[in-house]
Amino acid sequence: MSIQTNLERLAHQEIQERNLINHYLPFRQQRNKPAEYDFDAIAGDVLSSALRIKLKQGYSLESFVERARAAVSSKLSDDSINDFIDQMYFDGSGKSGLFKVSPEFLLFKANSAEAGASKHVCRLFRSFLATRQKEIPLLMNEVNFLEAELLSELQENLTSHAPDSTEVPYLPFLAEFFSKDLNFLCQHPSYLLQNTRAFLGLYNFLYSAQLALNINAWDSTPETKPLYFILDTERASVERKQVRESYPWLKEKVADLFPILSMLEYFNQIQEKNAPRYPLWRFVEHIKNASSEEQLVGVKAMQEFAKNYCAKRGVDIPDQLPHSEASMVKFLTASAREIFSKRGSSQFTVNSRVVNAFENEVAQHFVQSRGRSGRVLILNQDYLLLLTNLAVGEREQLQFQQLLEAFKNRGIWFDRQSEQALINFYERVGNVERMSDSGDAVYVRKTL
């Protein structure tokens, strides 16, 4: 269904008793304890979409182990080695040794991707990859002759798979970088296996943060917004205003996610499970470029929806509603924020739990308390090296200022003090070449 069709039906959407979100948000409200993401399952689902493959119907880890054991045993002259092979690859419920052979074995984990909190993250990354015109190739990992047998058994039981998603990415710029960075990792399978959780956790955070910073900028295509980090080894002195203000500002914007996205569900026909889902900015973009007749239909539909929505949620409706698409969207988003800002209401409680989930589940590795400076955004060494390798990509090296620009494109910004700390860190690691004392003449290499 088209955006215009969704708009025309907006006036007739039945407002449900409770507010909910089914799309665009990779986390939900935190209840008794933080949710746990199964990043192996998420990785399996992501690789299935990226490589355009999946397990054949009925093929399971158990059936693979049975057939792989038989295939390997038939090529061994000494049966006593079988026990050793079992210990290496097949023993234990996790079969941990097997999953270190090649990223493709993570496909066995994909069946668990729709459980718990993981399903929301999977849906997000699936929408990123569904926009690609072709699959991402995976280079062959270096394997021994036994592992080659295991890999051959798996590959004989794979079938083609086209990623499917009803969601048009809310942040196209980040979807593009995610696909690009995943493509790079697939050219380095061992590095991918070592950094699967870090990569997916990083992008889950970057998306959630940039979504929050863009959620009210619905009058234009989303773009990366400044969000200042420091290295976890740096001091966050009080005079560093950009560093001190970034996390409080981000948390304030995160509080707008649930109100606006739950309202957006109605724009996308909340009761139609298979209807395409569009970001709010796409609706505004469509109306701006539509014919006069379509614009009038869209504005009138939003006006009728506003009356129903506000009446159901107990929000005062002005005698005269706005007559332009931008003013109507501004009114609706403001009304949604008002609904969830009333202290003591169930909506306020739900939204507080959503913000807690962001802090304790999504952002837990990227936030630290730093005394008088309060809570600040940080990057530790592992995330910094991963991000550096992704930014340099297939190139041999990248000029330092270009590297900083690549970080910004993905949603990570540094002030001047942190820039110097970065150079010092790279010099200690040994992956920097300094042509002069200026940052313009510093080049950073990958650590792969």
The pTM assigned to this predicted structure is: 0.95
**Within-domain flag for 176:** no
Give the pLDDT band of residue 436 (cuts 50, 70, 90): low
Structural domains counted in the chain? 2
Report the chain's mean pLDDT, rounded to a whole number. Answer: 92
438 pLDDT exceeds 70?
no
**Within-domain flag for 92:** yes
Q: Which of 108, 139, 166 is the last residue of a domain?
A: 166
Give the pLDDT band of residue 404 (cuts 50, 70, 90): very high
Q: Report the C-alpha gap between 18 and 57 in whole angstroms.
A: 38
**DSSP reduced 3-state for 253:** helix
**Listed ranges 99-103, 131-135, 180-184; the one with the highest mean pLDDT:** 180-184
SS (H, E, C) 377-414: EEECHHHHHHHHHHHHCCCCEEEHHHHHHHHHHHCCEC
pLDDT digits (tens, 9 = 90+) for 236-277: 888 899 999 999 999 999 999 999 999 999 999 888 888 889
Instruction: Please answer whether residues 444 and 403 qualify as being in contact, where contact means their C-beta atoms are separated by less than 8 angstroms.
Output: yes
**What is the per-residue pLDDT for 204?**
98
**What is the per-residue pLDDT for 144?**
87
How far CA 349 is from CA of 29, 40, 181, 204, 292, in Å, comes to: 9, 32, 37, 24, 42
How far CA 320 is from CA of 266, 326, 327, in Å, comes to: 22, 15, 12
pLDDT digits (tens, 9 = 90+) for 130-144: 888 788 999 988 888
Q: Which residue has the higher pLDDT, 73 or 299?
A: 299
Q: Which of 120, 148, 166 is the last residue of a domain?
A: 166
pLDDT digits (tens, 9 = 90+) for 188-237: 999 999 999 999 999 999 999 999 999 999 999 999 999 999 999 998 88
**What is the per-residue pLDDT for 271?**
82
Q: Report the C-alpha gap between 299 and 252 in whole angstroms.
A: 29
**What is the per-residue pLDDT for 95?**
63
429 pLDDT exceeds 80?
yes
Across the range 408-421, mean pLDDT stands at 97
Across the range 156-164, mean pLDDT stands at 90
How far CA 345 is from CA of 179, 258, 385, in Å, comes to: 41, 15, 44
1 pLDDT exceeds 70?
no
Q: At what angle do helices 241-254 and 346-357 cross, to 10 degrees?
A: 130
Q: Which domain holds residue 433?
A: 380-445
Task: Say how many C-beta atoms besides its own lie within 10 A of residue 176's C-beta.
Answer: 15
**Within-domain flag for 411:** yes
**Within-domain flag for 135:** yes
Q: How far is CA 39 from the centre of its chain?
A: 12
**Within-domain flag for 119:** yes
- Which tokens go with 186? 């697939």
Q: Which residues of 294-314 are buried (b: 16+ CB within 10 A; e: fewer)?
A: bbebbbbbbbebbebbbeebe
345 pLDDT exceeds 60?
yes
Q: Which of 127, 146, 166 is the last residue of a domain?
A: 166
18 pLDDT exceeds 70?
yes
Across the range 405-428, mean pLDDT stands at 96
Across the range 390-395, mean pLDDT stands at 96
379 pLDDT exceeds 90?
yes
Q: Report the C-alpha gap between 47 and 201 in whole angstroms.
A: 15
Q: How far is CA 55 from the centre of its chain?
A: 24
Least confident of 82-96, 155-169, 432-446: 82-96
What percentage of the chain reaches a pLDDT higher than 70?
A: 97
Across the range 327-346, mean pLDDT stands at 94
Give the pLDDT band of residue 81 (cuts 50, 70, 90): confident
Q: Report the C-alpha gap between 383 and 120 in whole angstroms.
A: 23
93 pLDDT exceeds 60?
no
182 pLDDT exceeds 90?
yes
**What is the per-residue pLDDT for 270?**
82
**Within-domain flag for 384:** yes
Give the pLDDT band of residue 368 (cuts 50, 70, 90): very high
**Within-domain flag for 262:** no
**Within-domain flag for 124:** yes
**What is the per-residue pLDDT for 439?**
55
Give the pLDDT band of residue 181 (cuts 50, 70, 90): very high
- For residue 286, the one-letter residue type is H
